Structure 1
Amino acid sequence: MRSARYFLLPVWLAFAANAGHAHALDPGYLDIRQLTTESWQVIWRMPDVNGRPMEIDAVLPEHCSPARGPDPTSDEAAWLSVWVAECKLDLAGHPITVTGLEAQRNDVLLRLQPLDGEPTTLRFTPQTPVLTVPKAPTIWSVFASYFRLGFEHILEGWDHLLFVFALFVLVRDPWRLVGAITAFTVAHSITLALATFGVLRVPGQPVEAVIALSIVFLALEILKQKDGQVRLSEQFPWIVCFCFGLLHGLGFAGALSEIGLPPTEIPAALIAFNIGVEAGQLTFIAALFAFVLLGRSSTHLMTPTVKSIAKSATGYSIGCLATYWLVERVSSFGL
């Protein structure tokens, strides 16, 4: 089983070749807040695509004027369009549309805040670009939205996935690996909560740089492995994962701060997001084990020399990409 993991190298190289950016999570965000009986403030945030707003647009129900916002302006992270819409009828029971979303891979998160009543959190996807505002929102809509957000974040966040991949290559015992992943989740849940409630504030750029450094550390551990010797990071991987998980949690906090949390449902949203992250990590690990089992029948072809080369290639591939991210992030300090 151990040797078979190195057959993942071609899969990893294809994976790394498509990882142009460490974070793919960049959903749109639509905040609609009621000001008076008939007026609503709309804040429409569109992801940036090569210096231009993504080709999507938010459209309110036809009884609202204007149903679309003005041309967006850039805040260097995304594109914002803000306006006040006059709606003759309530928004509940009427459709809101995100045009062009069906041609994208991103989702759009909607937060609707009426004057009287609980905020509603909904999620547009390429498959569901039109949603009808429910008349009786529940906490389960918040939970479902943020669970999916956490699940997709870990599966689309290249640096977090690379950390899990390196851990998979490093740790031999499956149950020890699952324990390490769970320790990682517990740790990032702590710092994510502290950052969300304003107890802990750390600049995003240094956090992202240290996350890349944590992957470099695991790459070095892979390269230093020797048969018959168990390194501390293999024997007690949950310690390493817990420490680095505290840092990764701050990275998750940066992602959540970009799209916001429902003010009255913050605990539910955080719990759902963390459960989604854990589910995403375990799904990724399960997929890696499936690849290993498929390649297990070919392990007899792996001589000690081939195994050594494959291990070195895997470690250096992980380390080089993580080092590139580290240099890129450190060089952006102060920009």
Structure 2
Amino acid sequence: MNLLRLLLVAILSTLLTGQIAQSHALEPGYLEIEELGNDVQRVFWRKPAVKQAPMDIHVRLPERCTNPTAPTPRFDGLAWVASWNTQCPGGLAGQIITIDGLSKTSTDVLVRYQSGDGQDATIRLTANTPSFVVPEKTTTLQVLWGYVGLGVEHILEGYDHLLFVFAMLLLIRDKWRLFGAVTAFTLAHSLTLAAVSLGWLSLPSRPVEAVIALSIVFLAVELCKHKPDQPRLSERWPWVVSFSFGLLHGFGFAGALTEIGLPTNDLSIALMGFNIGVEIGQLLFIFATLTVWYALSQLQFASRYSSRNKRRQSTLRFGYGIGAVSTFWVVERIAGFAL
């Protein structure tokens, strides 16, 4: 098997097996603590599901709090959630909160702390930093940075979004057209993300995810029917196609952000940070893909694929491979909400 086929198999295997094995497994956990007065706090804890079982991570509040650990969680169809009240004498400001087991995972936990005076603190915990000291007051930069990290993480684990971008890279060979298509995609999903997060638009998430997969099937068909002398719709009007599908993919980003939650007092900052993170992740993926592609083109045997016929064969292979994976996702997602 030649190197091009190996590359195709590796990419598509990663996308397919990653989607099956890690669906919802790497979504961030979410912890919300709200001061109710008289040193009483309301705690909401949401942790990802791994093969329908709760991920082995646990909240640990300061020992002086009553009920410092969560009760038995319940499954809400997407994740495992628990809600309870606790009382911490003197409040939580300056105290340490830890997510036990987080250091052994590859997920993050977003923490929102709402003090009695209405101030929100937003902290992103990772495997390297599984605990934090509750601040007296959070800064705008902390909120922005936390949501930037979540945006990068979401796009790099969003195999369907990355496969869509990868198919666009294969279809559009002109760098300026590619730049225009990526810009249009960015603008479109930014608009939808903002509209949904602000409550102006709403669509059910499961049908949206199925249609997102269908958008990748469309690009796979475009790849398979590609002819150098007969440009396809996505090649003639790449900005229109990418903008249209970008609006759709924005609903997917918004769904993830809605599940995570947005701070009331820093809504615009958090929204901007998440969107910036998505774009950073997308650009990292494009840069990595183009770098690998360039490296392969510099190998001595790359000349074997330089002819029009060889390029046509490689495009077909990628088109059929992308089509197979995206069609599987369509069927899987329709079955998920239709049964």
Confirm whether residue 96 of structure 1 aligns to residue 97 of structure 2. Answer: yes
The change in CA–CA distance for 1:60 and 1:23 in structure 2 (over 3 A counts) is: closer
Name the residue aligned to 1:12: 11
Say if 1:166 and 1:219, in contact at 8 Å, map to a contact too.
Answer: yes
Name the residue aligned to 1:27: 28
In 2, Cα distance between equivalents of 1:326 and 1:17: 12
Number of residue pairs matched by the alignment:
332
Say if 1:72 and 1:81, in contact at 8 Å, map to a contact too.
Answer: yes
CA drift at 1:246: 0.6
Q: Which moved more, 1:193-202 or 1:243-252?
A: 193-202
CA drift at 1:182: 1.9
Kindly provide the CA deviation profile for residues 126-177 of structure 1, in whole angstroms up to 9, marking residues without a partner as x. Answer: 1110111222311111111111111111110010011011111111022322
Say if 1:223 and 1:311, in contact at 8 Å, map to a contact too.
Answer: yes
Name the residue aligned to 2:331: 327
Quick one: percent identity of the two aligned structures? 48
Q: Which moved more, 1:312-321 or 1:291-300?
A: 291-300
Mapping of residues 211-290 of structure 1, within 5 Å? 211-290=212-291
CA drift at 1:23: 6.1
Normalization by structure 1: what TM-score? 0.93
Mapping of residues 292-307 of structure 1, within 5 Å? 292-297=293-298, 298-302=301-305, 304-307=308-311
Name the residue aligned to 1:310: 314
CA drift at 1:18: 3.0
The change in CA–CA distance for 1:270 and 1:109 in structure 2 (over 3 A counts) is: same
Q: Which moved more, 1:228-237 or 1:307-316?
A: 228-237
Stretches of structure 1 that go unaligned for 5 or more consecutive residues are none
The change in CA–CA distance for 1:310 and 1:168 in structure 2 (over 3 A counts) is: same
Say if 2:24 and 2:50, in contact at 8 Å, map to a contact too.
Answer: no
- Which secondary structure state, in structure 1, belongs to the residue aligned with residue 94 of structure 2? coil
Kindly provide the CA deviation profile for residues 80-136 of structure 1, in whole angstroms up to 9, marking residues without a partner as x. Answer: 121111111231222110000111111000000011141100011011101112223
Q: Which moved more, 1:15-24 or 1:220-229?
A: 15-24
Stretches of structure 2 that go unaligned for 5 or more consecutive residues are none
In 2, Cα distance between equivalents of 1:140 and 1:331: 42
Residue identity matched to 1:81: A
Residue identity matched to 2:15: A
CA drift at 1:214: 0.6
In 2, Cα distance between equivalents of 1:228 and 1:286: 28
Mapping of residues 171-250 of structure 1, within 5 Å? 171-250=172-251
In 2, Cα distance between equivalents of 1:210 and 1:17: 17
CA drift at 1:8: 4.6
Say if 2:119 and 2:137, in contact at 8 Å, map to a contact too.
Answer: no
- Which secondary structure state, in structure 2, belongs to the residue aligned with residue 241 of structure 1? helix
The change in CA–CA distance for 1:23 and 1:96 in structure 2 (over 3 A counts) is: closer
Name the residue aligned to 1:59: 60
The change in CA–CA distance for 1:305 and 1:237 in structure 2 (over 3 A counts) is: closer
In 1, Cα distance between equivalents of 2:271 and 2:219: 28
- Which secondary structure state, in structure 2, belongs to the residue aligned with residue 64 of structure 1? coil
Name the residue aligned to 2:114: 113
Residue identity matched to 1:214: S
CA drift at 1:200: 1.2
Say if 1:28 and 1:108, in contact at 8 Å, map to a contact too.
Answer: yes
In 2, Cα distance between equivalents of 1:286 and 1:128: 28
- Kindly indicate whether structure 1 or structure 2 has the higher relative contact order, using CA contacts under 8 Å at least 6 residues apart: 1
Confirm whether residue 85 of structure 1 aligns to residue 89 of structure 2. Answer: no
CA drift at 1:20: 2.8
In 1, Cα distance between equivalents of 2:336 and 2:233: 33
CA drift at 1:259: 1.4
Residue identity matched to 2:171: L
Say if 2:66 and 2:87, in contact at 8 Å, map to a contact too.
Answer: yes
CA drift at 1:305: 4.8
Name the residue aligned to 2:153: 152
Residue identity matched to 2:36: L
Confirm whether residue 68 of structure 1 aligns to residue 69 of structure 2. Answer: yes
CA drift at 1:309: 2.9
In 2, Cα distance between equivalents of 1:24 and 1:246: 26
Residue identity matched to 2:316: S
- Which secondary structure state, in structure 2, belongs to the residue aligned with residue 126 of structure 1? coil
Over the aligned positions, Cα root-mean-square deviation in angstroms equals 1.9
In 1, Cα distance between equivalents of 2:47 and 2:278: 24
Say if 1:185 and 1:274, in contact at 8 Å, map to a contact too.
Answer: no
CA drift at 1:285: 0.4
- Which secondary structure state, in structure 2, belongs to the residue aligned with residue 34 of structure 1? strand
Residue identity matched to 1:107: D
Q: Which moved more, 1:229-238 or 1:309-318?
A: 229-238
Name the residue aligned to 1:135: 136
